[in-house]
Amino acid sequence: MPQAVIHLAAIAGFPACQSVGRLVAWRYNVESTQRVFEQADALGVDRLVYLSTYSNYGLSADGQPVTEKTPLNPQSLYAETKVASERFLRGQAADSACAPLIFRPTTIYGLSPRPRFDLIVNQFVLEAFSKRRLMIYQRGYSRSFVHIADAVHGIILGLCAPLEKIRGQVFNVGAEDGNLTKDQVVQLILKRLPETDVQYKDITFGGDMRDIIVSFEKIRRELGFAARYSVDDGVREILKALQNGLIPNPADPRYRNARFIVS
């Protein structure tokens, strides 16, 4: 009998959810999560690991690092579906045999079999490399970033932790040095591609307002998590892969979940 289910399936990101609409996004991101958990519980699975998102926090009210106890303030349909799924899973924790565990990873970067070039770090590196130009929106906004290998490491720790330690728990996944403004990410890219022309535009994204700093004290304390990669490592890794042709056609739509929408 399987000991765990890792639930990754979703329509991921606010542009993708926006493009399919509320009914479809809710069916695949919320109702499907409910069905997966119910079947896992019925089959005697020990734990279900659910990948949520730090988008659930939205905008920080006081500028302080958000923790797992910070009230959620979703700013997009995508985040609303993740909040609803979290609420369902946490509501099952006390009475179900299957223990739900929720991770809120920050924005992913780094090389993978299907790297996403619609996420900030990877996207910025690709644009600077291929166009020698960057257009930056929401210039001063802070985001938080985690390498995909570190996110996987967090999941493994959750799989190995005692059930009583993770049942119904929520953990932010990332690193303090991954809390960066977009300008700081740009500076890391300019260190390796100094010829890049950087331009700024006063425009906001249609539905995913995030300007936050994230605390990772809980996952460090409870699961012993420590990130192994920095954003600078990720910039170098993606740039080297592009320079060496490891991703032959990075403009292919398969590397993006949906067309990026601004307004």
The pLDDT of residue 208 is 56
Give the up-direction half-sphere exposure of residue 4: CA atoms within 13 A in the CB hemisphere: 19
> Tokens 């906001």 — which residue?
204
The pLDDT of residue 205 is 53
Q: DSSP secondary structure string, the chain?
A: --SEEEE--S--SHHHHHHH-HHHHHIIIIIHHHHHHHHHHHTT-SEEEEE--GGGG-B-SSSSPB-TTSPP---SHHHHHHHHHHHHHHHHTTT-SSEEEEEEE-EEES--SS--SSSHHHHHHHHHHHHSEEEEESTT-EEEEEEHHHHHHHHHHHHHS-HHHHTTEEEEES-GGGEEEHHHHHHHHHHH-TTPEEEEE---BSS---B--B--HHHHHHH-------HHHHHHHHHHHHHTTSSS-TTSGGG-SS---B-
Largest alpha-carbon pair distance within the chain? 58
Contacts of 144 (CB under 8 A, 6+ apart): 54, 106, 107, 174, 178, 179, 180, 212, 213, 214
Find the radius of gyration of the CA atoms of the chain: 18
Q: Which domains, ranges and CATH numbers included, belong to the chain?
A: 4-255 (3.40.50.720)
Contacts of 71 (CB under 8 A, 6+ apart): none
pLDDT, one tens digit for every residue, the chain (263 residues): 459 999 999 999 988 999 999 999 999 999 999 999 999 999 999 999 999 999 999 887 777 899 999 999 999 999 999 999 999 999 999 999 999 999 999 999 999 999 999 999 999 999 999 999 999 987 778 899 999 999 999 999 999 999 999 999 999 999 999 999 999 999 999 999 999 999 988 765 555 556 889 999 999 999 999 999 999 999 999 999 999 999 989 999 999 987 654 43
